[in-house]
Structure 1
Amino acid sequence: MPLHEPDYELDGFGPADDGHEQHRHDLGISSLKVLGEYRTDTDSYFVLLDEGATWGIPGSPQLRAVHVSRDLSARTFEVDSKELPLYAMAQSYLIARGCPFDALNPPEGVHDPADDFTRALEARVRGDGDHFALLASYTADMRDPVETVVMLRSLDPQAVPEFRILLERFDWDSNTHTLREGGFETYPAVVEWWEAWSDEEAPALPPPAPTVRRSPAPTAPATPVPPVSRRPQGR
């Protein structure tokens, strides 16, 4: 089905400050198309596809989560958004800002999970968004199938495994995707897998063991890897 540009419903509203006006301006590009949306009288939530991202920085996230809130009395608006690599992560961002859990499911045929495992894992990602930090992501849209890889670190420094990889594969023929997960106890281990994936030689993801707690140990750099980095760097 054809995708349409978002309507933020801001006619008659002014920005709460200059930053929100700039944010609205930045979201006014024609390459942003709606994959999912939910509206109330005061709030609008969008998961947008940036159709122009494939011609930008290689590997950049192609999705953007957008929350627009309107003050009906003051006739002002606020806008916040974030680029994210996976649809379920965009949903999680918006759920944390008041969107109902199941309100942003895309129309059938737009972003369909290929199997029950994918559905269950995406549901968990939607609910666990505040449990992990995004260290890196890369969308390889020149591969067949298209792959998006995401590196996460638990915000609980005592969790085992501390690091997770999410790997999405999108099949153009069926217009469906799968999502799989792997667990890694150390930063060097997850970087080794990432680099092998970058070289298209990645082994199977190690199954994530049930999360347990351990004594804190410094295993990752203090500064997260930039989200568009193809190869995570060490300290």
Structure 2
Amino acid sequence: MTPTLDLQVDGLRPADEKAADLYDGMHEDEFKVLARHDVGERSLILAFDTTATWGSLYGEPNLAAFDAVRYRGQESFSLHTSQHSNLAFARKWLIERGCPSDALQLSWMRPGDELTARVEERIHRSGDRYEAVDQLAMDSEATDAWTIAVDRTAAELPVRLFLEEVQPDRGTYTLREGAFPDGGSTWRWTRAALARSTAPSISAAAVLASAPAAAAVARPDRGRSR
């Protein structure tokens, strides 16, 4: 059974206004913990936001990353959070805050192929290379998640689309990267792919891999300026 989020801050007050706003605006019982790493009084947590599925906005990010630090002597706590659609970007945020990557592995969900693992690892190590500008998550029989980002190192085709597809019945997910000249062309392709991938026999990731305007990026250095 997936545990409900518990930041372990009972009896503590927010250390600053930001922590107060974040904590007051959330309900811990709405999040299911996927992975957690505790070091002393610091907790780095990857969670699923159960409200995203039936939220007021279609396609809201359904992954939340938390960094909570408890100061027992001061009876206070700090809190930072980040919302994501793609698992790789949620893990990246936590890894950059000191969470070991091994602590973020899911026993019931694994990369579906070598290319997925390679693209995911590149995101984890990307630093400030990618600036995420939009994201979308869709819950269905085959769950899709999209992140559109600007690759600051790309000499051409700087807008990247990261498409993640989850196969719940197999316990796997695939991650692909497409390259586009601008945001408009990215969204035009995305809308067309959504329409085409409604057929059960067609995978959106397969569409991305074969699209002339968005070839899958298989090499880690593709698009990097010299």
Question: Do both share a fold (TM > 0.5)?
Answer: yes
Matches within 5 A, 1:38-57: 38-56=37-55, 57=57
1:151 is aligned to 148
1:171 is aligned to 167
Please tell me whether residue 133 in structure 1 is matched to residue 145 in structure 2.
Answer: no
Can you give the 5+ residue segments of structure 2 that lack an aligned partner in the other structure? 198-203, 210-214
Shift of 1:73: 4.1
Structure 1 stretches of 4+ moved >6 Å: none
TM-score, reference length from structure 2: 0.82
TM-score, reference length from structure 1: 0.79
1:217 is aligned to none
How many matched pairs? 209
User: Partner of 2:29: helix, strand, or coil?
Assistant: coil
Distance 1:80 1:152 in 2: 22
Residue type of the alignment partner of 1:112: R
Can you give the 5+ residue segments of structure 1 that lack an aligned partner in the other structure? 215-235
Give CA deviations for 1:142-183 in whole Å, capped at 9, x if unaligned. Answer: 3x4221122111234x53331111111111211221111112
Q: Is the 8 A contact 2:5 2:29 kept in 1?
A: no
Percent identity, please: 27
The farther-off stretch of 191-200 and 88-97 is 191-200
Shift of 1:137: 1.6
User: Partner of 1:21: helix, strand, or coil?
Assistant: helix
Matches within 5 A, 1:36-185: 36-56=35-55, 57-106=57-106, 108-109=107-108, 111-142=109-140, 144-156=141-153, 159-185=155-181
Distance 2:148 2:119 in 1: 15
Structure with greater helix share of residues = 2
The farther-off stretch of 118-127 and 93-102 is 93-102
Distance 1:133 1:72 in 2: 36
Shift of 1:118: 1.5
1:204 is aligned to 208
Q: Is the 8 A contact 1:5 1:32 kept in 2?
A: yes
Give CA deviations for 1:206-234 in whole Å, capped at 9, x if unaligned. Answer: 133712338xxxxxxxxxxxxxxxxxxxx
Residue type of the alignment partner of 1:23: L
Distance 1:52 1:71 in 2: 29
Instruction: Return closer, same or farther for 1:212/1:117 CA change in 2, 3 Å cut-off.
Output: closer
The farther-off stretch of 21-30 and 31-40 is 21-30
Distance 2:193 2:17 in 1: 42
Shift of 1:42: 3.1
Q: Is the 8 A contact 1:161 1:212 kept in 2?
A: no
Q: Please give the root-mean-square deviation of Cα atoms over the aligned residues, in Å.
A: 2.2
Q: Is the 8 A contact 1:47 1:87 kept in 2?
A: no
